[in-house]
């Protein structure tokens, strides 16, 4: 069976009904109690403050998503957020915030490691920025998170909003992509993609965002590049183009050398190890199985050396 056939077959399988908790609102036992009382039959996953729901039908009507007591997101997305989570008290720039799900995951992971970080988050869609700001308030993060409407391709200029100026300890790029790693949740993806987009337009935009965001990393700081794509054109090819161009001052590092990995329990580290590639990147689909359904995310990390 070739890779294209395997991809098509995986896309037909049901997605895992995972949720994460927000420790800024509740401790793990409190969150699990809320999920149980809502009749969702939660089972703890290998990651901290994370559950898979055996009876997920009532999640939307439970009110737990609206209050940010439960954050629906695939286990693969949670793993990426843990690996990229900022050090407590440090500064992080998130590029491609969307509606703020990863922001909550990043800050919750940081809080479990000792405290929240100072996060500035960029999103080009004003409607999503408004939603993200509302979620930050409900999640208890509005005091430590600034949501800014800005084009991620224009972070290397001089005239930036104050929340985006200066340099950051870590920059996390959650790049817009084809979404081929999430077709279990979004089967329409297969019909919406054009070959030219995957071959040319998307990689060009991803490289532009990564190159621009790199300008905001302090010397000695780290840059993380993530997609929910399974395609090398959007992942390894973008990384190679970055390192041979505007990323000449960066050195690739294994995402497992970042602080988040060392804070994980043994079972979670073993899960992440199963996702690791020989090229020191993360492909979550490597750990995908019938008993542990995972979306396909890609993660590469770099350290600024000059």
Helix, strand and coil content of the chain, in percent to the nearest 5, comes to 40, 20, 40
151 annotated ligand binder: yes
Q: How many C-beta atoms surround the C-beta of residue 195 within 10 A? A: 7
Domains of the chain in start order, with CATH, are 17-73 (3.30.70), 75-304 (3.40.50.150)
Question: Across the strands, what pairs with 71?
Answer: 20
Q: Phi and psi dihedrals of 221, rounded to 5?
A: -85, 180
Q: Which of 240, 248, 260, 259 is nearest to 300 (CA)?
A: 240
Compute the half-sphere exposure of residue 280: CA atoms within 13 Å on the CB side of its CA: 12
> What is the pLDDT, as a whole number, of residue 190?
81
Q: Does residue 196 carry a pLDDT above 90?
A: no
Q: Mean pLDDT over residues 39-45, rounded?
A: 99
- pLDDT tens digits along 124-168: 999 999 999 999 999 999 999 999 999 999 999 889 999 999 999
Q: Does residue 288 carry a pLDDT above 70?
A: yes
Q: Which of 81, 117, 75, 115 is nearest to 98 (CA)?
A: 81
Q: Does residue 10 carry a pLDDT above 80?
A: no
Question: Across the strands, what pairs with 172?
Answer: 94, 224
Q: Which residues contact 190 (CB under 8 A, 6 or more apart)?
A: 11, 183
The pair of three-digit structure tokens given for residue 126, joined into one six-digit string = 């004003």
Q: Does residue 229 carry a pLDDT above 90?
A: yes
The pair of three-digit structure tokens given for residue 210, joined into one six-digit string = 């990564």
For 98-156, the DSSP string reads TTSHHHHHHHHHHHHTTS--EEEEEES-HHHHHHHHHHHHHTT-TTTEEEEE--GGG-S
123 annotated ligand binder: yes
User: What is the C-alpha separation between 22 and 51, in angstroms, rounded?
Assistant: 12
Confidence of residue 3 (pLDDT cuts 50, 70, 90): low
Q: Which residues contact 248 (CB under 8 A, 6 or more apart)?
A: none
Rg of the chain in Å (alpha carbons): 18
> What is the pLDDT, as a whole number, of residue 83?
99
Question: Which residues are part of the catalytic machinery?
Answer: 228
For 197-261, the DSSP string reads IIIIIHHHHHHHHHHHHHTTEEEEEEEEEEES---TTTTHHHHHHHHTTTTTTEEEE-GGGSHHH
Q: Which of 71, 173, 179, 88 is nearest to 122 (CA)?
A: 173
């Amino acid at each position: 069976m070739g890779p294209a056939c395997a991809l098509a077959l995986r896309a037909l399988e049901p997605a895992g009904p995972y949720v994460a908790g927000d420790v800024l609102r509740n401790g793990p036992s409190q969150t699990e109690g809320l999920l149980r009382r809502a009749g969702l039959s939660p089972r703890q996953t290998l990651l901290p403050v994370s559950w898979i729901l055996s009876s997920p039908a009532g999640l939307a009507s439970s009110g737990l998503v609206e209050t940010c007591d439960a954050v629906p997101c695939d286990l693969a997305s949670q793993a990426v957020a843990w690996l990229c989570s900022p050090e407590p008290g440090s500064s992080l720039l998130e590029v491609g915030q969307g509606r703020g799900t990863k922001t909550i995951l990043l800050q919750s992971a940081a809080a479990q490691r000792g405290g929240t970080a100072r996060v500035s988050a960029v999103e080009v869609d004003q409607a999503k920025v408004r939603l993200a700001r509302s979620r930050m308030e409900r999640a208890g993060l509005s005091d430590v998170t600034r949501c800014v409407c800005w084009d991620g391709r224009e972070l290397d200029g001089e005239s930036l909003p104050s929340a985006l100026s200066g340099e950051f300890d870590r920059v996390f790029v959650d790049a817009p992509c084809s979404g081929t790693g999430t077709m279990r949740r979004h089967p329409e993806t297969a019909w919406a993609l054009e070959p030219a987009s995957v071959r040319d337009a998307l990689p060009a935009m991803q490289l532009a965002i990564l190159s621009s965001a790199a300008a905001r990393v302090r010397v000695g700081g780290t840059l993380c590049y993530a997609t929910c794509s399974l395609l090398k054109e959007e992942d390894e090819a973008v990384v190679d183009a970055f390192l041979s161009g505007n990323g000449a001052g960066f050195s690739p590092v294994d995402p497992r050398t970042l602080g988040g990995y060392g804070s994980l329990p043994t079972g979670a580290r073993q899960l992440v190890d199963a996702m690791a590639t020989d090229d020191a990147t993360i492909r979550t689909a490597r750990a995908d199985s019938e008993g542990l359904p995972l979306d396909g995310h890609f993660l590469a990390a770099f350290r600024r050396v000059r």
